Structure 1
Amino acid sequence: YDYLRLLFARIGKPHCPKCGKEVSRQTIDQIVEQILKLKTKTEIAILGPVIRGRKGEHQGILEEIQRGGFVRVRIDGILHRVEEAIALSLDRKKKHNIEVVVDRLISNKDLDRSRLVDSLETGLKLGKGMVMVNDLVFSEHFACEECGISLPELEPRLFSFNSPYGACPACQGLGKKLEVAPSLVIPNLNLSIAEGAIFPWAHASHKVGRQGYFWWQLSDLAEEYNFSLDQPVKNLSKKILDIILYGSGSFEGVIPSLERRYHETDSEYTRSEIAEYMIERICEVCQGKRLKPEALAVTVGGESIAQVVELPISRAQEFFRNLKPKNSELKIANPIVKEIINRLQFLIDVGLNYLTLDRKAATLAGGEEQRIRLATQIGSKLTGVLYILDEPSVGLHARDQGRLIETLKKLRDLGNTVVICEHDPQTIRKADWTIDIGPGAGKHGGRIVFQGTPKELLKSRTLTGDYLSGRKKVDYNPSTTRTPPPVSPKSQDYLIIKKAAEHNFLISWG
Structure 2
Amino acid sequence: AITVGDRNIIETTQLSVTEALRWYERLPNRLSDRENQIARQVLKEIRSRLGFLVDVGLDYLTLDRASGTLSGGEAQRIRLATQIGSSLMGVLYILDEPSIGLHQRDNDRLIGTLVRLRDLGNTLIVVEHDEDTIRSADWVIDIGPRAGEHGGELIHSGPLEGLLATERSITGAYLRGDRHIPVPRTRRKGNGEWLTVRGARENNLQGIDVAFPLGRFVAVTGVSGSGKSSLVAQILYPALAQVLWGSREPAGKHDRIEGINHIDKVIEIDQSPIGRTPRSNPATYTGLWAPLRELLAAVPDARLRGYRPGRFSFNVKGGRCEACEGAGIVQIEMHFLPDVYVQCEVCKGKRYNRETLEIHYKGKNVAEILEMTVEEALKFFEAVPVIKNKLQTLHDVGMGYIHLGQPATTLSGGEAQRVKLATELSKRATGKTVYILDEPTTGLHFDDVARLLKVLGRLADAGNTVIVIEHNLDVIKSADWVVDLGPEGGDEGGRLVATGTPEQVGADPRSYTGRYLRDVLPSAPPRVSARSRRREAVPA
The alignment's TM-score, normalised by the length of structure 1, stands at 0.42
- Which structure is larger by alpha-carbon Rg, 1 or 2? 1
The alignment's TM-score, normalised by the length of structure 2, stands at 0.39
